[in-house]
Amino acid sequence: MSLTHRIGVAWRLVRPFTLSASVAPVLVGTGMAIPVHPFRGDLFVCFLLASLLIQAATNMLNEYFDYKRGLDSEAMVGIAGTIVRDGVEPRTVLRSAWLSMAVAIALGVYICAETSWWIALVGLACMAVAYLYSGGPKPLSSTPFGELAAAVSMGPVIVLLAYFIQTRHLDAPVVWVSVPVGLFIGAILLGNNIRDMELDRAGGRRTVPIVLGRARATALFAAVFCVAYAMLVTLVACAAITPFALAVLLTAPTAWYVAKRFFEHKEPSKLHPAVKGTATLLFRVSAILFVAQVLPVWIHTV
């Protein structure tokens, strides 16, 4: 296997399109903190890297445990496929996951030493969710609670941690802003499970789309977008975030395209671009929120 091929396999293993779910909440939490407290670049970089590593480890654990349970096949859409397609040893994938977790813990130790050791408890809880999502006797990904667990642990929790790391306290506005971020993250998982619902059903899973049915799950998917955008507009109206945040409405056409695709198609190959589109939408919304909060500070200092 050439070096180029090895790099490609490693890149697919971390499932790069999903990494927006780890970058987005860090951006939003930090963006909310910058106007109220001096910015610590070292803490931002360390927390961002730790968040990326935990997300990558979660993807690797999902790859490993789904293979072990016989849920992955070479023909599946949306998986990294490094084991079933590229012949990577399962134990190599598992070791890579633990190595990513270990580096994230090392970064977390530095963050705690600079801020508060209470962060360690929250961080370990997030890591436990990352493992239990795919591992353990009853993985969260096989239940109707997978989307909720991901939405909470990767949305509000990470947003609030990013804010607390910078400011050492929490405020009501950042709590409210964290909710739409969690909704968009939950939408990625919901869309993923709508795409895979027939294979998940055959594998004995009971995800939200399987419990609700395709039509209701798709309606829920669209409703999540509507609630997230409505909350952001309301937060601007309440002066919880700056008026610049209304620029998130520029991403509404992407949300429309993604939701429309779920209503029009059932084939996994045609739904996968919509799942990736949801991840892209999350990143765009979060980047806009970051800029919207930082821009007034920059304008004031110029």
85: Cβ contacts below 8 Å, ≥ 6 apart: 74
Q: Is residue 188 pLDDT above 70, yes or no? A: yes
Q: Is residue 9 pLDDT above 90, yes or no? A: no
Q: 227-254 burial by CB neighbour count: b if 16+ within 10 A, else e?
A: ebbebbeebbeeebbbebbebbeebeeb
DSSP code of 79? S
Report pLDDT for 239: 95
7: tokens are 């790099």
110 in a domain, yes or no?
Answer: yes
Domain range enclosing 259: 15-295
249 in a domain, yes or no?
Answer: yes
Q: How many domains does the chain have?
A: 1
Query: Quick one: residue 267, left, alpha or beta (phi over 0 = left, psi -120 to 50 = alpha)?
Result: beta
CATH number, position 133: 1.10.600
134: tokens are 């795919």
Which residue's structure tokens are 């969260």? 140
Sign of CA dihedral 190, 27, 302, 38: positive
The per-residue pLDDT of the chain, averaged, comes to 91
pTM: 0.93
7 in a domain, yes or no?
Answer: no
d(CA 267, CA 288): 32
Are residues 28 and 285 in contact, defined by beta-carbon separation less than 8 angstroms? no
244 in a domain, yes or no?
Answer: yes
60 in a domain, yes or no?
Answer: yes
1 in a domain, yes or no?
Answer: no
Least confident of 50-54, 182-186, 188-192, 197-201: 197-201
